[in-house]
Structure 1
Amino acid sequence: MAEKKKLLQKKLNLLDVFSIATGAMISSGLFILPGLAFAKAGPAVVVAYILAGIIVIPSMLAQIELGTAMPKAGGSYFYIERSMGPAAGTLGGFASWFSLALKSAFALIGVGAFANLLFPVFTEMHIKAIAIGFCIIFALLNIKSVKHTSRFQVFLVLSLLAMLFLYCTVGITKVNLHNFIPFSPKGFGAVIPVVGLVFVSFGGLTKVASIAEEIKKPKKNLKMGMLIAFIVVMLFYVATIFITVGVVDASKLANSLTPISQGGEIVLGRVGMIILSIAALFAFFSTANAGILSASRFPLAMSRDRLVPEIFGKMGKKSQTPIISIILTAAFMIVMIAFLNFENLVKAASTMKIILFLYTNVALIVMRESRIDTYRPSFRAPLYPWLQIIAIIIYAFLIFKMGTVPLIITAFFIILCIVWYVFYVRMRVQRKSALVHIVERITNKKIASTTLADELKDILIRRDNIIEDRFDKLVKSAIILDLKHSIEAEEFFNIVSENLSSRLNIPSQELHNLFVEREQQSSTILEPGLAIPHIIVKGEKKFDILIVRCKDGINFEKGEPPVHTVFVLIGSMDERNFHLRALMSIAHIVKEHNFDKRWFNAKNSEELRNIIYLSTRKRETHESK
């Protein structure tokens, strides 16, 4: 019961997911960074953004797969910790929190640059005060309710996209193609570090996975929300930057902190500059708002796993939001607003994000190779494992191209995480990860526990909003036999009768005779490899099920292929209706995709039980009520 109280409520729909992912991407990466990136790469900055978007795709697909399999607060942290263990999880959790909170702090600093454009009398102190003030406002909004937060996010994002659409529609007619000559004045080699610099622009896409626990129908909405957000943002990034390069003079664009607003003034006049500056403010507000919402879920998730003190998991009684985590995130952002150095910390955040994406792809490989049966994503990343391996190599290359200062900051951060793990986490957490399952499979030694498999099972039940029906309850308590050698039908019915006798309070010989008589009337083999022996017993309100796997096969009839899967049904006459429903449930289960493969690959009786219990057969759910 205690764990259930800590679960976050499912309040976010597809539009919320799209708005949070989109708002997390469109901010300083579009409204500030293009000027800095143009100074380094020239018009080829457009290519840098395209490349950054392309190399995000493997991580987006990995996040969707992992997120639909494990929709839990913490997103990347949770996947990394469960796949590679508490040490990697400590680094992944702090890095996720650090990079997202830092990106949100950048957004609020961006507010200052545009506020100064609209109101030149503002001093740096005023700008920082305004940024800190909005940080506090967004923190309070997040504390109040995730639903209020998401509604505000939808408004900001839709308004922002409308203003960018206006700029692109009018601006495309005013592009001067001579502005793109020379296209790459410093050579293509100068573009690669810029890809790393602007990579953070797409980093917010995957932060929505950190709130997957709060998404309605995550199997559908998480995948669609992230894919639609990526496509929309990619199109707007390329179109907006292409138009800006095409209309703004190179000398004015290089190192400008308000490049899109400059383009807006050329395309639409003074009104355009104001509209695009307002769009920028909306973008910064949406990123800061989404950033606090998402980043605050990492300390919450880590507190659940005892990687940080439990106080960070404290939830508001009415709002059901992680109050302490939100306050901590906002406090960290305020400190960054007061002391950060823009370009180096942008690079540090990008480096952290690249490391996280690298880890995420490793996590996907580990989860796939662990072959845990309860790892059941509703979406599987294509081109496995080559797409993930190529992504890991590219990310590692980009990290070392980021420059000395970001690498030093990142190395210092990793050292702090290691120190925290050694002196705080290691003595408190002994959880085994999916990596252990791979070692077990390679060495053929039993070293993994069922803890992770059971946790994934509980996650699937909540993800699919499963309410146990009577068939589920029977499966949970059913006897499951995993026979190790081939046997004849007579011996098989003896084994079944002996196992059921005490449960039904019926002599085993009586049960055996009923099974034999039923088989003589007509074969209970429904299809090659599958049999459903069923008998009627005396009494009332009696029904039970026994499940059998025999890899070598049970010989039911001469001339027929051996049976490998058996569902034995026993019931009294008054249970005939339920008997038919049970047959329908079994028919659905054995027709599921890859049932035979999963059935034969199951390691033990509990994995066999999970294959049946976690089937996708139609049953009553919270959402169908």
Structure 2
Amino acid sequence: MDVYAISTGAMFSSGFFLLPGLAASQTGSSVFLAYLLAGFLILPSMFSVAELSTAMPRAGGAYYFIDRSLGPVMGTIGGMGSWFALIFKSAFALIGMGAYIAVFIDLPIVPVAVVLTLIFGVLNIIGAKESTGLQRFLVATLITIMIFYLVQGLFKIASLDLQVILNDRFDPFFQFGSHGFLSTIGLVFVSYTGLTKVASVSEEVQNPDRNIPLGMILSLITASIVYVIGVLLMVIYLEPAEFFQDLTPVATTGELFMDWLPGGVGLILVVIAAAAAFASTGNAGILSASRYPFAMARDNLIPSFFGKISANGTPVVSVIATTGTMILLLVMFNVESVAKLASAFQLLLFALLNVAVIVMRESKIESYDPGFKSPLYPWVQIFGIFFSILLILEMGILSVLFTLVIIFVCVMWYFYYAVDKVDRQGAIFHVTARMSRHVDEGLDSELRSIMREKGLRKDDPYESVVARSMVFDQFKKDYESLLTQVANHMTSRINCDANLLRARFAEGPDDHAMTLAEGVCLHHVRIPNATSSEMVLVRLAKPTVFKELGDESLHAIIFLASSTHNATQHLRILAHLAEVIDNGSFLAHWDKAKDETDLREILLRDERFVNLIVGETEASKEVIGKKLRDVRFPGQSLVAVIRRQGIVTIPHGDTELMEGDEVSIIGELSDIETIRKQYC
């Protein structure tokens, strides 16, 4: 999925094409500054969503994060809040589309918006979806037109009298004081809510640890530039009284400085851009909003019929409920009320998402493993919570009361309907584990499952740990002897007393041993101040039952020891081992392996690992007698171990390569492929 296209496309609609005039009527010419500060104030929530999305990439977005961190009560509020916020934003977008259509065709705005809602609702019911390619095209078109629009507007300013502009347009700057300015920030906050929309599709993003935060940051920069400069142009070119009443300020302003284009092409371009933006937001909004009742139904928070799927894969009941609610809002509320309510709910959600990050961090759940961590924790989150609450309070009594009513209704609904149907607690119970033994093990298990799906990170030392592992092949002795040999081997490598290490491995299967597949046991411990992660592979001479490990007949035992200082890396290595061993053919390959090299290679990802026999090919003969530092392997390839006459050594720069050396090299896919072509 294209994170930048999703985030940017979701932002450019009503917030820019419709809202500026309404916002300016509350604060005057300082409205462009309100947009700038709103973009700054969304940073805490953006960082929090990026962290949560890389830790828990699951469909459902804000609802899933809040439910799994704060529990199902808050999850109900978060799910309903997300649903309402998306509905309000989509309704607002369709009002804007109706307003821009009215530029060419004199039609009443609200009825047009209602008809458009019905059309998009039907399209979603029959399964029509925008492809990622279309989304990219729409965003590219919007950005291109907006750049042209901004450049033309700034160029035309040079011909204006700046002193007259300052006197006529910027005096007074804060027309309605600090209260009006803060209220306006809350109102325009809805313009940036699309930024976090990517959370609902984080499960589909490739390389989420990098692409989610990067895409969101670039999207925020783009939106902030367009919003601030674009609204500033509106302030400069439009009379205040006209600006305050204008529902199509981009079109009105564009007519003034793009009048040099023939046949009203400038106005046509603006209307096309606006219509595309509103259509994209409205249609995608119905599609996204309908996911929340669907996800909540799967979690038993609302009746199961909301989770029903049609023959073409559409959550038809959720789409109908979403479309019907949007129509009610369009009929019952005016434009400004819809925008305020959307902003108030989104502010509430952002506050909860900031709380969610604090709870997940303080829960100390080891399997909580975000690929991106919010900077300046917890101050960024505290700042985001404080200003979200402040802006909600500044937005007026209607927004506050409506928000409180929805919270009350959600809580009552949970205790009336869902309390007996839900068996999970959320990470908040792990925070209280210091005072109570009551811990939600289900969440930890779910996070471990996510960790397994995400796999290893680029800098995880899995390959090097396996490559330098000790192998006990055809082991025939008792379990006590095995523990002694394993501890004696590991002690020099991880800087730990052998007796302590042996005692840790012997503590019992419930603590440190697990059966990953039939016939395979994984023994793992974490040692304070361990200098590295180390592994020992044991292939038993025949299927053996060790009473210390239960009554299962074992073919293989894997020992892993790591430092306590990097718990998540230890868990990622465990998760990847489990993924490899879970392969149905693992045990067959293990039993048929010819030697210890084959045993290691079974656990390694073949595309990032190669064994090179020095002197076996003409190219490899050229490195005989050379020191490792003088051999230039491509990229960041690393020589993990060298086996010489059956002895495994950890190489260094002065290690001299000799004929017959078996060199184990790990690296990136492209680099390993180059080594294979050159030397093997």
TM-score interval for Structure 1 and Structure 2 normalised by the shorter chain = 0.7 to 0.9
Name the residue aligned to 2:447: 456
Name the residue aligned to 2:199: 209
Residue 67 (structure 1) aligned to one of 28, 49, 53? 53
Name the residue aligned to 1:237: 227
Superposition pairs of residues 428-443 of structure 1, within 5 angstroms: 428-441=421-434, 443=435
Deviation, structure 1 residue 81: 0.8
Unaligned runs of 5+ in 2: 467-471, 503-517, 544-555, 581-602, 608-668, 670-680
- Please state whether the residue corresponding to 2:142 is helix, strand or coil: helix
Residue 187 (structure 1) aligned to one of 154, 174, 177? 177
Name the residue aligned to 1:268: 258
CA radius of gyration, larger in: 2
Q: Distance in 2 between matches of 1:82 and 1:362?
A: 12
Name the residue aligned to 2:509: none
Larger relative contact order (Cα-Cα within 8 Å, sequence gap ≥ 6):
1
Corresponding position: 1:226 with 2:208: no
Deviation, structure 1 residue 134: 3.0
Q: 1:350 to 1:528 in 2, by over 3 A?
A: same
- Please state whether the residue corresponding to 1:118 is helix, strand or coil: coil
What whole-Å deviation, never above 9, does each CA across 1:288-336 have from its counterpart, x for those lacking one? 1221232122112211211012222233454x44333233222222222
Residue 141 (structure 2) aligned to one of 154, 159, 170? 159
Residue 526 (structure 1) aligned to one of 477, 487, 493? 493
TM-score by length of 1: 0.77
Q: What amino acid sits opposite 1:304 in the alignment?
A: R
Residue 303 (structure 1) aligned to one of 297, 302, 308? 297
Q: Between 43-52 and 511-520, report the one with greater CA deviation.
A: 511-520
What whole-Å deviation, never above 9, does each CA across 1:560-596 have from its counterpart, x for those lacking one? x999977443225899xxxxx999x96xx95xxxx53
Instruction: Say if 1:358 and 1:396, in contact at 8 Å, map to a contact too.
Output: yes
Q: Distance in 2 between matches of 1:243 and 1:600?
A: 50
Name the residue aligned to 1:293: 287
Query: How many residues are matched?
Result: 534
Q: Between 543-552 and 185-194, report the one with greater CA deviation.
A: 543-552
What whole-Å deviation, never above 9, does each CA across 1:246-287 have from its counterpart, x for those lacking one? 222223212211111111000112332232122221221121
Q: What amino acid sits opposite 2:74 in the alignment?
A: A
TM-score by length of 2: 0.71
Deviation, structure 1 residue 36: 1.4
The two structures, once aligned, show a CA RMSD in angstroms of 3.8
Instruction: Say if 1:374 and 1:610, in contact at 8 Å, map to a contact too.
Output: no
Name the residue aligned to 2:333: 340
Name the residue aligned to 2:278: 284
Deviation, structure 1 residue 609: 5.3
Q: Between 453-462 and 351-360, report the one with greater CA deviation.
A: 453-462
Q: 1:139 to 1:150 in 2, by over 3 A?
A: farther
Q: Distance in 2 between matches of 1:143 and 1:213?
A: 23
Instruction: Say if 1:33 and 1:198, in contact at 8 Å, map to a contact too.
Output: yes
Q: What amino acid sits opposite 1:181 in the alignment?
A: F
Name the residue aligned to 1:558: none
Deviation, structure 1 residue 358: 0.4
- Please state whether the residue corresponding to 1:335 is helix, strand or coil: helix
Name the residue aligned to 1:21: 7
Name the residue aligned to 2:150: 168
Name the residue aligned to 2:525: 549
Instruction: Say if 2:493 and 2:534, in contact at 8 Å, map to a contact too.
Output: no
- Please state whether the residue corresponding to 2:537 is helix, strand or coil: strand
Instruction: Say if 1:42 and 1:184, in contact at 8 Å, map to a contact too.
Output: yes
Corresponding position: 1:424 with 2:413: no
Instruction: Say if 2:190 and 2:342, in contact at 8 Å, map to a contact too.
Output: yes
Name the residue aligned to 1:415: 408
Q: Distance in 1 between matches of 2:98 and 2:379?
A: 44
Instruction: Say if 1:543 and 1:572, in contact at 8 Å, map to a contact too.
Output: no
Q: What amino acid sits opposite 2:437 in the alignment?
A: K
What whole-Å deviation, never above 9, does each CA across 1:128-175 have from its counterpart, x for those lacking one? 444334334433444566863434333322222221111101110123
Residue 326 (structure 1) aligned to one of 295, 312, 319? 319
Unaligned runs of 5+ in 1: 1-12, 476-496, 498-503, 534-541, 553-560, 576-580
Q: 1:424 to 1:526 in 2, by over 3 A?
A: same
Instruction: Say if 1:358 and 1:391, in contact at 8 Å, map to a contact too.
Output: yes
- Please state whether the residue corresponding to 1:547 is helix, strand or coil: strand
Corresponding position: 1:570 with 2:559: no
Name the residue aligned to 1:596: 564
Q: Distance in 2 between matches of 1:307 and 1:141?
A: 27
Q: 1:119 to 1:426 in 2, by over 3 A?
A: same
- Please state whether the residue corresponding to 1:549 is helix, strand or coil: strand
Q: Distance in 2 between matches of 1:117 and 1:416?
A: 40
Superposition pairs of residues 241-260 of structure 1, within 5 angstroms: 241-260=231-250
Instruction: Say if 1:372 and 1:453, in contact at 8 Å, map to a contact too.
Output: yes
